[in-house]
Amino acid sequence: MVTTCTAGPPSGRTGWPLADFVRTVFRALPRADQRRWADVYLRGLLCTPGRKTMKRLAAQICGEPSAGQALQQFITSSPWDWHTPRSVLARLAAGRLADHVWAAGTFVAEKKGDQSVGVHRRFVPGLGGTVNCQVGVGLFLTSPTEAIPVDWRLVLDGTWRQDAALRRRARIPDAVDGGSAWTCALEMAAAADTAPLRERAPLVTDLTMTGDLAGDTGVPAFGGGEFLVRVRPDHPVLEHTRGTGSSPSVAVSTAEHLIAEGGARSRVALSVYDDGCGPVEVRSAPVHLPGQRAAGAPPRRYRLLALVPPGESEQPQFWLSTLRRRDIGYAFSLMRRQRLMRETLDTLEEDYGLTDFEGRSFPGWHHHMTMVSAAYAYRRLRPGTAERLTA
């Protein structure tokens, strides 16, 4: 018998009963037992301190660790569709949040062994070395004060993309490529923009942690969407010059080198950086990205922004932009969304079990991530929080 979640929302408080939330978000699950275990798993994520293993969730909510086998079955083996609950969460978030902006963020889950789905070795700049890990990408719908996770992708390296036996064992669908974090972010934002938002929202993301590169690949799928992406100082770029046409002859440079060597076309000295972090100089230059493109197609144009603080205590930041609005204040407002999203990712890891899934199946990973999203959304989108969320 499932016990009451004593660590959940205080009794008697005006709000959204968890059972009603589960019925709303997971109503598409075809079987009653699936919806029941969704309720149990969600309560476990909300109530269990520390690591969110199946046994610990079951012991916290059901009073017996043996129920962990049923949770394991629900997450790793039960064939329920995770797309519909995520769409419901996106619609709930869109209805509660104002001034929509998409923010995508990567996270790294270090793993032991090679059995976890998507695990591979890679150099992670944010960790300062090569680690055995999973790399996930989350898409968040943000307001100026909130970031709600609504979709997830698992980055797959070459082995996971090409080894048919490995993919079958992990139950990875043939249509799933799981390429770079950049293409995952663009694809999620493009798909999510089919939700009933008032207008296509811009996308902001940061690729510096995992070392992924931004490129023209995947940009057409995003249509006319605007984006702002933070890149590493060594990100390859081509300076846009008159006469480059569709076959630029200029040498490939890096973001840092181009700015340092005076390639910037404009410099705007600002006395205050957003959030009162101090003065910063903003430099910008029109650039292209190296790589293949369709024959006869002109190179896609981007604007490289460099945020250069005074002195040597902080390193410059480099951003690629397709924003049509040129005022730097607007770009700063999007950068704040990215920081808000990163804070939310940290909270999801610390309090909601973001990196605690140990299963070997691709559907299992997506089921777990859907439950993590639902748990966080329940806490942040309950009635009574709307005034704070949209303020």
What would the DSSP string read from start to end of 136-178? EEEEEEE-SS-EEEEEEEEE--HHHHH-HHHHHHHT--TT---
Q: CB neighbours (10 Å) of residue 123?
A: 11
Predicted local distance difference test score (pLDDT) of residue 74: 95
Average pLDDT over residues 20-32: 94
pLDDT at 156 over 50: yes
Give 290-305 pLDDT, tens digit per residue.
Answer: 875 655 667 788 999 9
Looking at every residue in the chain, the average pLDDT score rounds to 84
User: Are the C-beta atoms of 149 and 136 separated by less than 8 Å?
Assistant: no
Give dist(CA 323, CA 210) in Å, integer: 24
Q: Which of 42-56, 181-195, 268-282, 341-355 bottoms out in mean pLDDT, i.e. has the lowest?
A: 268-282
Give dist(CA 264, CA 284) in Å, integer: 5
What would the DSSP string read from start to end of 63-96? S-GGGHHHHHIIIII----SHHHHHHHHHHHHHH
Read off the pLDDT band of 249 (50, 70, 90). low
Under DSSP, the state recorded for 4 is P
Average pLDDT over residues 50-78: 88
Give dist(CA 69, CA 103) in Å, integer: 35
Q: Which of residues 311 and 317 earns the better pLDDT score?
A: 317
From the list 124, 105, 286, 81, the residue with the least C-alpha distance to 182 is 105
Q: How far is CA 107 from CA 8, 63, 118, 132, in A?
A: 27, 32, 13, 13
User: Are the C-beta atoms of 74 and 62 separated by less than 8 Å?
Assistant: no
Read off the pLDDT band of 11 (50, 70, 90). very low
Query: Could you tell me how far CA 274 lies from the centroid of its own chain?
Result: 23
Give 319-369 pLDDT, tens digit per residue.
Answer: 999 999 888 889 999 999 999 999 999 999 999 999 999 889 999 999 999
pLDDT at 278 over 70: no
pLDDT at 153 over 50: yes
pLDDT at 264 over 70: no
Give dist(CA 227, CA 338) in Å, integer: 12
From the list 144, 236, 227, 165, the residue with the least C-alpha distance to 193 is 227
The pair of three-digit structure tokens given for residue 56, joined into one six-digit string: 């610990």
Predicted local distance difference test score (pLDDT) of residue 251: 79
Predicted local distance difference test score (pLDDT) of residue 7: 37
Give dist(CA 118, CA 372) in Å, integer: 19
Residue partners of 75: CB distance under 8 A and separation at least 6: 41, 54, 357, 359, 364, 367, 368, 371
Percent of the chain surpassing pLDDT 90: 54
Give dist(CA 93, CA 303) in Å, integer: 31
pLDDT at 391 over 50: no
pLDDT at 39 over 80: yes
pLDDT at 387 over 50: no
**What are the structural domain ranges in the chain?**
1-80, 97-218+327-361+380-391, 234-315
Average pLDDT over residues 123-129: 85
Give dist(CA 240, CA 262) in Å, integer: 13
Q: How far is CA 145 from CA 341, 354, 385, 388, 391, in A?
A: 10, 21, 12, 8, 8
Phi, psi of 107 (to 5 degrees): -140, 150
pTM: 0.89
If DSSP codes are grouped into helix, strand and coil, which group holds residue 196? coil
Q: CB neighbours (10 Å) of residue 251?
A: 8
Predicted local distance difference test score (pLDDT) of residue 21: 94
Give dist(CA 293, CA 299) in Å, integer: 8
